[in-house]
Structure 1
């Protein structure tokens, strides 16, 4: 019988990893800031065209902008943490599904032990 289980993916921090993550976080911050500017534009446009309550429109847009600003703060925090992260440390990079063949008589504890895949500069270096 085959079962599917989650396997953690970890990344070894290198100079290249730091550079890639920094670029990724900065790009996400930039896109979120652009979305905030677009929301301001859309809000003004809607307020001018609509006869609806402007306070309701403003509230809706403020909620959306607040959500994006929270994401911006999160990515700025991640950038700060990235700067102090030592080279050679491991960071979590999500999970993937793995298909495992099981048979009668196998040790269940060994099957459910936390498995992981270790990646360094885009190359799988270890599977445990």
Structure 2
């Protein structure tokens, strides 16, 4: 019988992966900042048209800008933590679903414990039983 099982994917922090993560966080931060600027521009443009209630318009745009500013703070925190982490640290990257065979006589405990895939510089370095 085949069952779906959640598999944790972890990445080993190397110089290369640290640089890639830093770039990813920086790009995300810049994109969010651009979105905030664009929202402010759109707000000013819509305020001039006088088609919408100024208070509702401001409330809506402020909410959207606030959401993005919280994400910017998260990106800043991730960048800060990335600088603190030593090389060789394992970072949980994601979880994926895997199809596994379960047969009569298999140990159920081992199936429940799941597996972890360890990635190092883009390659599978290890597959662990949790």
Residue 51 of structure 2 corresponds to residue 45 of structure 1: no
Query: What's the counterpart of residue 124 of structure 2?
Result: 124
Give the Cα–Cα distance (whole angstroms) in 1 for the partners of residues 13 and 52 of structure 2: 52
Note the alpha carbon deviations across 1:12-54, whole angstroms, 9 max, x for none: 0100011000000000000000000000011111111133210
What does 1:62-101 correspond to in 2, within 5 Å? 62-101=62-101
Determine if contact 2:2/2:101 at 8 Å carries over to the other structure: yes
Once the two structures are TM-superposed, the CA of residue 58 in structure 1 deviates from its matched residue by 0.3
Unmatched tracts of structure 2, length 5 or more: none
Residue 99 of structure 2 corresponds to residue 113 of structure 1: no
RMSD: 0.8
Q: Which of structure 1's runs of 4+ aligned residues deviate more than 6 A?
A: none
Once the two structures are TM-superposed, the CA of residue 114 in structure 1 deviates from its matched residue by 3.1
TM-score, scaled to structure 1: 0.97
TM-score, scaled to structure 2: 0.95
Give the Cα–Cα distance (whole angstroms) in 2 for the partners of residues 127 and 23 of structure 1: 27
Matched length: 128
> Helix, strand or coil: the match of 2:103?
coil
